[in-house]
């Protein structure tokens, strides 16, 4: 019996083997490679399956696949996220297939990051825009804002300086505050940051910008300036991938000022002596003859301090990969930039490691980041000092430690001042560490709990060293000059932040109804401490330490020092409800309840609600006949309220300032006693600045989503803005003391347009993206006691009197507008002189004429008129690009139109008689010259409040051009290289402008000095070559 069973089993096994062999022989093996149609790169992890069966596989690291095909099947289905699904018919005579997949425009931009979550673009009801990492890496910069310029409608980016490592000013939908910060809130992987996080572009996966109040209201007290959500790169579930990229380039200043040479300088001095200083004396040549250096030197300090062909370089290494339950991404980046002005540079090291672990119902994400920055800045006012340098003075060698100078004692001291600026060392060393841990637990299919803990720590050391520099006259005698005393200043800053958030998400789909509920509780704390110490008269330049000085910063005895410590906390609770019916009708509502320690207890808490709705008209049945070519038509609207707490801590408290000493006793026997003054008065009624914003938008898509269009119009009302009001000295507060009050209102209105087009003709892929932004700002209410308030630093030239302030806050005008004195030409006839001397008795021929606007016989601030502002009326961006058979070309244009600039550099060169214009100044022989006669820098002919310095600041700039070549895959496969690309690029290649200064992009601090060219560090042309290598 057992033998029979054994024989039957053997027979059955043989039948199975034969059957299996017959089945195998009835199948063919098909091989192939899946490539991206745009750049011929391998598509790794793509799904390749036999249509109508369960047979399938995925592509390997190089995009290759091998699959057995049943005899009765002849169609492959290839799919991958971000690409259109493709069906391939099989040919019996072909065993290898090259399959090229086209990107799906709709899928690539399907999901965007919003506050505390993600959302499909189709579901969006607010104004949210995204920039991918590829767009950020085209610009050679260490600054995130500069890379964003011209890429998102409604996001205004203006360079604050061309100095290495400088950060641009970012404003979302206009000016947000007068006294507080205008910068947006940065969120990195869900964790709020105290400022710009200083990430390298190689760390960033994408950036999403929340522009309207309804989207930003979920961040409550900090959302008034908009929110920038940064998602860093994560690993993907595949084999390990190594990416190395870098570039090296040079920089050069391509613009400049028209300054005099020595011959021209002598000529204009001759004119001044002839018609101003010695007009009644025929010996006007004598002062020039008595100084032989006038005829021996021809110096140009600007050429000395410029650093042509300054290097810029950047290198990144990325290692990423993982398996189904664990992924990782590690990035290391090095950026180094030398300045185009001597003694300036910036370098930064960034390292970031992200991991994601998934197991059953748990997901744990970690992120650790570390950065080190080193910055060197030119000596204080070195640029402006170079503008006024007399070309007849001695030539300067910046590498010498002792110099000999000719001329007068004043000339020798000026020479010493310049050398002290050149020798001055300003360095900054910064270290920063950040980390966050995110844990998600899926309690049920539709219910998820989450908690997030994040922190950051930073330290910064700033050192200013002005070494002792000795100047000798031509007789070998030491020239005494208090401005060349050695000096050392050290500032140490530490800051830290800690944030903890816990939340719950419930998502439920019932038929065509989708409901999402989110609840968040958060705690945040920020700490800041700083210490300053300074001394003068160092014993030796070789020992730059604080105890190596013999005098303090002021009186000459002891040392100067101060210390500051601040701490602030924030508690927040948020709830959000979202409803979606069949992707047709969307409704969202949220409310946030925040408490901030920056306010007194009676005004500490604030409520910030929002509501938004959308209608996808293209999902309606009646739209079906048009949907094949008119793919999307969505209307959306939102209304929300946000707050602003980004101003000084303890604004509601009284602040006492020490070192305000008092004299007691008789006049002959005064006794100095230590004392202080009340710098600001307490005001427990200080409350939130609030923003209420209405937004209406439309999104359109045509021709298989190849043409897209978005438009938004908005109105933003800023209420209860905080103004620091000056107090009279009579209250005992001291000069410049203030009290902070909620006394201002402001309105921003604007329009934003975004148009994108992408297509393919044969092997040519091309795209074009256009953005347009217009913002109108107006101050609608100020204190009844102060209708005009000039900014303290709102002068076109540093170091001048308060009467030269030109930027102000005034009802009915935009914040930071210019108010200037209108002029009407030069006094060049006796009739004009007689008329003008009625209220300017000291006026003379060749002087500038100002207009008495109110006809009261006086020239004062009441005669000032509106002179425009540094805020552009229109901003435009145009990005063009394409690729063909491995070659790719892209360019980015940016335009800023309708803004004004007050040319402070020109004022400065007029005041110090180095501008070439003064060769053509008014004289009796040149009576129709538009240039007033030189009567010295303090004369009203050259004062900064004159409208003659206001220039058109509009410009159009070719911001970036890149030409690259990606080597074919088949060339690289032998070396196991997945991608190899070489490229050349140029930044700031062309600038079209009427502005006569160095550069028309004068952002400065974004408000009080925006549009004031005070001798800003110039923006440079950059040309570089780079590579991208992927294994």
Report DSSP state, residue 839. T
The string of pLDDT tens digits covering residues 128-170 is 999 988 888 888 888 888 889 999 999 999 888 889 998 888 9
Dist CA 371 CA 352 (whole Å): 9
CB 567 within 8 A of CB 513: no
Whether 284 has a pLDDT exceeding 60, the answer reads no
- 527 pLDDT band, cuts 50/70/90, is very high
Whether 308 has a pLDDT exceeding 60, the answer reads yes
% of the chain with per-residue pLDDT over 90: 52
Dist CA 484 CA 478 (whole Å): 12
Compute the mean pLDDT over every residue in the chain, rounded to the nearest whole number. Answer: 86
The full set of domains in the chain, from first to last, is 23-102 (2.60.40.1120), 107-237 (2.170.130.10), 262-297 (no CATH), 655-685 (no CATH)
Residue 597 or 615, more confident: 615
Contacts of 466-470 with CB under 8 Å at 24 or more apart are 466/379, 466/420, 466/423, 466/424, 466/425, 467/423, 467/424, 467/425, 467/538, 467/541, 467/544, 468/538, 468/541, 469/401, 469/402, 469/403, 469/416, 469/419, 469/420, 469/423, 470/402
CB 365 within 8 A of CB 230: no
| Dihedral (CA of 103, 104, 105, 111) sign | negative
| Dihedral (CA of 316, 321, 325, 326) sign | negative
Give the pTM. 0.85
Report DSSP state, residue 420. H
Structure confidence at residue 403 (pLDDT): 64
Q: Name 945's Cβ contacts closer than 8 Å, sequence gap at least 6.
A: 803, 804, 805, 806, 820, 821, 864
Structure confidence at residue 270 (pLDDT): 84
Helix runs in 248-363, H state only: 262-272, 286-289, 301-305
Structure confidence at residue 21 (pLDDT): 38
Dist CA 357 CA 365 (whole Å): 6
Structure confidence at residue 447 (pLDDT): 95
Neighbours of 348 (CB within 10 A): 22
Structure confidence at residue 25 (pLDDT): 38
Helix runs in 254-404, H state only: 262-272, 286-289, 301-305, 382-387
125 is written with which tokens?
């009801």
- SS3 labels along 999-1010: CCCCCCCCCCCC
Lowest mean pLDDT among 253-267, 569-583, 885-899: 253-267
Structure confidence at residue 281 (pLDDT): 55
The string of pLDDT tens digits covering residues 458-503 is 999 999 998 887 777 777 777 777 667 788 999 999 999 999 999 9
CB 853 within 8 A of CB 823: no
The string of pLDDT tens digits covering residues 743-752 is 889 999 999 9
Q: Name 72's Cβ contacts closer than 8 Å, sequence gap at least 6.
A: none
Lowest mean pLDDT among 123-137, 496-510, 696-710: 123-137
The residue-averaged pLDDT of 73-87 equals 84
Report DSSP state, residue 520. E
Start-to-end Cα distance in the chain: 63
The residue-averaged pLDDT of 896-920 equals 94
Q: What is the dihedral of CA 274, 277, 279, 283, to 10 degrees?
A: -70
Lowest mean pLDDT among 38-52, 396-410, 796-810: 396-410
Dist CA 371 CA 200 (whole Å): 10
Structure confidence at residue 39 (pLDDT): 64
CB 803 within 8 A of CB 812: no
Helix runs in 862-995, H state only: 904-911, 969-972
Structure confidence at residue 934 (pLDDT): 92
Structure confidence at residue 109 (pLDDT): 52
Structure confidence at residue 659 (pLDDT): 61
Residue 94 or 14, more confident: 94
Nearest to residue 483, comparing CAs of 472, 473, 468? 468
Whether 105 has a pLDDT exceeding 60, the answer reads no
The string of pLDDT tens digits covering residues 335-370 is 999 999 999 999 999 999 999 999 999 999 999 999
Dist CA 193 CA 453 (whole Å): 13
For residue 763, what are the CA distances in angstroms to 79, 102, 665, 785, 886?
21, 12, 92, 69, 10
Q: Which residue has the tokens 């049920």?
A: 444
Residue 332 or 325, more confident: 332
The residue-averaged pLDDT of 1004-1031 equals 90
Structure confidence at residue 26 (pLDDT): 44
Residue 893 or 288, more confident: 893
The string of pLDDT tens digits covering residues 936-947 is 888 999 999 999
Nearest to residue 622, comparing CAs of 633, 610, 608, 637? 633
Structure confidence at residue 478 (pLDDT): 79
Give the CA diameter of the chain: 144
Task: Report the residue count for the chain.
Answer: 1031
In this structure, are strands 470-472 and 402-404 parallel, antiparallel, or unpaired? parallel
Structure confidence at residue 802 (pLDDT): 66
Whether 834 has a pLDDT exceeding 60, the answer reads yes
Q: Name 762's Cβ contacts closer than 8 Å, sequence gap at least 6.
A: none
Instruction: Name the 3-class secondary structure at 826.
Output: strand
Structure confidence at residue 138 (pLDDT): 82
Report DSSP state, residue 942. G
Whether 653 has a pLDDT exceeding 90, the answer reads no
Nearest to residue 630, comparing CAs of 562, 686, 696, 704? 704
In this structure, are strands 27-36 and 979-993 parallel, antiparallel, or unpaired? unpaired
Instruction: Name the 3-class secondary structure at 552.
Output: coil
The string of pLDDT tens digits covering residues 973-991 is 788 888 899 999 999 999 9
Dist CA 595 CA 586 (whole Å): 30
Nearest to residue 403, comparing CAs of 411, 394, 393? 394
Dist CA 879 CA 861 (whole Å): 45
Q: Which residue has the tokens 């970031």?
A: 352
CB 491 within 8 A of CB 455: no
Structure confidence at residue 936 (pLDDT): 87
DSSP letters along 615-647, please? EEGGGSGGGGGGTTTEEEEEEEEEEEEEEE--S
% of the chain with per-residue pLDDT over 70: 88
Structure confidence at residue 824 (pLDDT): 94
Whether 22 has a pLDDT exceeding 70, the answer reads no
Nearest to residue 913, comparing CAs of 387, 556, 434, 460? 387
317 is written with which tokens?
């290494």
Report DSSP state, residue 273. I
- 669 pLDDT band, cuts 50/70/90, is low
Structure confidence at residue 932 (pLDDT): 95
Whether 556 has a pLDDT exceeding 60, the answer reads no
E strand or H helix at 214, and its extent? helix 213-216
The pair phi, psi for residue 729, each rounded to 5°, is -60, -25
Nearest to residue 453, comparing CAs of 500, 522, 519? 500
Q: What share of the chain is helix, strand, coil (3-state, %, to 5)?
A: 15, 50, 35
The residue-averaged pLDDT of 241-267 equals 92
| Dihedral (CA of 442, 444, 448, 450) sign | negative
The string of pLDDT tens digits covering residues 389-402 is 888 888 888 877 66
Structure confidence at residue 774 (pLDDT): 97
Report DSSP state, residue 295. G
């Amino acid at each position: 019996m057992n033998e029979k069973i054994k024989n039957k089993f053997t027979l059955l096994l043989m039948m199975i083997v034969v059957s299996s062999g017959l089945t195998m022989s009835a199948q063919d093996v098909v091989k192939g490679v899946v490539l991206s149609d745009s750049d011929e790169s391998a598509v790794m992890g793509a799904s390749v399956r036999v249509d109508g069966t369960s047979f399938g596989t995925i592509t390997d690291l190089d995009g290759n696949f091998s699959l057995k095909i049943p005899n009765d099947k002849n169609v492959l289905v290839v799919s991958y996220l971000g690409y259109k699904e493709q069906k391939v018919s099989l040919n019996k005579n072909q065993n290898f297939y090259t399959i090229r997949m086209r990107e799906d425009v709709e899928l690539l931009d399907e999901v965007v990051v919003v506050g505390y979550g993600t959302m499909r673009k189709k579901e969006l009801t607010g104004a949210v825009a995204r920039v991918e990492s590829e767009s950020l890496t085209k610009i050679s910069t260490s600054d995130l804002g500069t890379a964003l310029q011209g890429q998102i409608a409604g996001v205004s980016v203006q360079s604050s300086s061309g100095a290495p490592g400088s950060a641009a000013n970012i404003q979302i939908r206009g000016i947000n505050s007068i006294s507080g910060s205008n910068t947006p809130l940065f969120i990195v992987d869900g964790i709020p940051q105290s400022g710009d996080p200083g990430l390298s572009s190689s760390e960033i996966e994408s950036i999403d910008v929340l522009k309207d109040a309804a989207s930003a209201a979920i961040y409550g007290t900090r959302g008034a300036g908009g929110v920038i959500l940064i998602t860093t790169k994560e690993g993907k579930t595949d084999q390990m991938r190594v990416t190395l990229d870098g570039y090296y380039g040079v920089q050069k200043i391509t613009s400049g000022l028209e300054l005099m040479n020595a011959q021209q300088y002598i000529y204009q001095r001759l004119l001044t002596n002839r018609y101003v200083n010695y007009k009644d004396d025929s010996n006007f040549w004598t002062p020039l003859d008595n100084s032989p250096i006038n005829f021996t030197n021809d110096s140009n300090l600007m050429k000395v301090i410029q650093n042509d062909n300054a290097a810029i370089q950047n290198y990144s290494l990325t290692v990423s990969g993982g398996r189904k339950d664990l992924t990782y991404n590690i990035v290391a980046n090095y950026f180094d930039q030398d300045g185009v002005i001597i003694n300036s540079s910036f370098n930064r090291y960034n390292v970031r490691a992200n991991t994601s672990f998934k197991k059953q119902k748990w997901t744990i994400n970690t992120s650790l980041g570390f950065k080190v920055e080193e910055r060197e800045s030119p000596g204080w006012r070195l640029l402006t000092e170079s503008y006024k340098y007399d070309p007849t003075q001695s030539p300067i060698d910046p590498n010498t430690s002792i110099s000999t100078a000719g001329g007068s004692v004043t000339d020798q001291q000026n020479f010493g001042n310049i050398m002290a600026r050149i020798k001055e060392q300003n360095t900054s060393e910064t270290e920063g560490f950040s980390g966050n841990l995110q844990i998600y637990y899926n309690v049920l299919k539709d219910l998820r709990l989450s908690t997030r803990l994040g922190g950051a720590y930073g330290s910064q050391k700033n050192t200013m060293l002005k070494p002792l520099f000795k100047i000798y006259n031509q007789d070998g005698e030491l020239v005494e000059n208090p401005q060349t005393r050695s000096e050392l200043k050290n500032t140490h800053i530490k800051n830290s932040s800690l944030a903890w958030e816990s939340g719950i998400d419930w998502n439920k789909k019932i038929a065509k109804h989708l409901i999402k509920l989110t609840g968040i509780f958060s705690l945040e704390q920020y700490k800041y401490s700083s210490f300053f110490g300074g001394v003068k008269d160092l014993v030796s330049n070789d020992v730059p330490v604080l105890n190596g000085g013999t005098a303090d910063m002021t009186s000459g005895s002891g040392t100067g020092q101060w210390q500051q410590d601040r701490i602030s906390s924030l508690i927040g609770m948020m709830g959000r409800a979202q409803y979606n019916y069949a992707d047709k009708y969307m409704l969202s509502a949220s409310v946030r309840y925040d408490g901030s320690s920056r306010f007194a207890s009676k005004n500490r808490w604030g409520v910030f609600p929002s509501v938004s709705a959308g209608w996808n008209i293209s999902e309606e049945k009646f739209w079906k006949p048009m949907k094949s070519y008119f793919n999307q038509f969505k209307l959306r609207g939102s209304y929300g309220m946000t707050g602003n707490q980004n101003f000084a801590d303890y604004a509601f408290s009284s602040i006492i300032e020490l070192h305000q000493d008092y004299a007691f006793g008789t006049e002959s026997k005064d006794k100095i006693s230590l004392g202080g003054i009340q710098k600001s008065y307490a005001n427990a009624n200080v409350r939130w600045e609030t923003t209420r914003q209405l937004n209406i938008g439309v999104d359109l898509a045509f021709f298989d989503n190849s043409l897209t269009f978005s438009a938004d119009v908005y109105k933003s009302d800023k209420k209860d803005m905080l103004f620091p009001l000056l107090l009279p000295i009579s209250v005992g507060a001291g000069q410049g003391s203030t009290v902070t009050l909620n006394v201002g209102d402001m309105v921003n209105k604007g329009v934003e347009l975004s148009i994108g087009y992408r297509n393919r003709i044969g092997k040519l892929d091309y795209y074009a993206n256009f953005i347009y932004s217009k913002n109108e700002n107006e101050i609608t209410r100020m204190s009844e006691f102060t209708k005009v308030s000039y900014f303290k630093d709102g002068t076109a030239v540093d170091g001048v009197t308060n009467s030269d302030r030109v930027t102000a806050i005034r009802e009915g005008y935009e914040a930071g507008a210019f108010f200037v004195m209108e002029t009407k030409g030069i006094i060049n006839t006796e009739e004009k002189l007689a008329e003008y001397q009625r209220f300017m008795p000291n006026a003379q021929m060749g002087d500038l004429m100002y207009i008495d606007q109110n006809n009261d016989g006086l020239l004062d601030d009441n005669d000032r008129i509106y002179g425009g502002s540094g805020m552009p009326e229109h901003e435009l961006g145009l990005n063009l690009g394409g690729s063909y058979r491995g070659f790719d070309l892209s360019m980015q244009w940016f335009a800023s139109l309708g803004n004004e600039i007050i040319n402070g550099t020109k004022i400065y060169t007029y005041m110090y008689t180095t501008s070439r214009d003064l060769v053509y100044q008014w004289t009796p022989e040149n009576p129709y010259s538009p240039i007033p006669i030189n009567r010295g820098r303090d004369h009203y002919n050259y004062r900064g409040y004159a409208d003659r310095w206001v220039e058109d600041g509009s410009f159009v700039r070719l911001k970036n051009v890149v030409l690259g070549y990606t080597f074919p895959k088949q060339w690289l496969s032998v070396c196991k290289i997945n991608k190899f690309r070489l490229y050349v690029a140029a930044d700031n290649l062309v600038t079209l402008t009427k502005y006569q200064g160095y550069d028309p992009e004068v952002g400065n601090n974004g408000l009080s000095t925006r549009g004031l060219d005070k001798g800003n560090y110039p923006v440079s042309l950059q040309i570089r070559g780079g590579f991208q290598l992927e294994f």
